[in-house]
Copies of this chain bind each other. A is one copy, B any other.
Amino acid sequence: MKLNLINSPLKADLELIEKELEKSIHSDIDLLQEASIQLLKAGGKRIRPIFVLLCAKFGTYDIHNVKNTAIALELIHMASLVHDDVIDEADLRRGRPTISYTWNDRVAMYTGDYMLARSLDYMTNIEDPMAHRILAKAIVEVCKGEIEQIKDKYRFDQNIRDYLRRIKRKTALLIAVSCELGAVSAGADEKTYRILYRFGYCIGMSYQIIDDILDFTATEETLGKPAGEDLRQGNITLPALYAMEDTQLRERIFKIRENIDTKEMEQIITHIKNSDAIEKSYDLSQKYLNKALVLLNDLPANPAKKMLQDIAKYIGKRKY
A139 and B120 within 8 A (CB): yes
Chain A interface extent, by class? 35 or more
Q: Which residues of B contact A135 (CB under 8 A)?
A: 120
Q: Is the interface of A mostly helix, strand, loop or mixed?
A: helix
Taking the complex as formed, is A83 at the interface, i.e. its CB lies under 8 A from any CB of chain B?
Answer: yes
Taking the complex as formed, is A147 at the interface, i.e. its CB lies under 8 A from any CB of chain B?
Answer: yes
- Between A and B, 25 residue pairs with Cβ closer than 8 Å are A29-B148, A31-B147, A86-B105, A86-B106, A87-B106, A110-B146, A114-B140, A114-B143, A114-B144, A114-B147, A117-B139, A117-B140, A117-B143, A118-B140, A120-B120, A120-B132, A120-B135, A120-B140, A121-B140, A123-B136, A124-B129, A124-B132, A124-B133, A124-B137, A132-B132
Pairs of residues from A and B, 5 with the lowest C-beta to C-beta distance, nearest first: A120-B136, A124-B133, A117-B139, A117-B140, A121-B136
Q: Spell out A's residues near B (CB within 8 Å).
A: 27, 29, 31-32, 83, 86-87, 105-106, 109-110, 113-114, 116-118, 120-121, 123-124, 127, 129, 132-133, 135-137, 139-140, 142-144, 146-148, 150-151
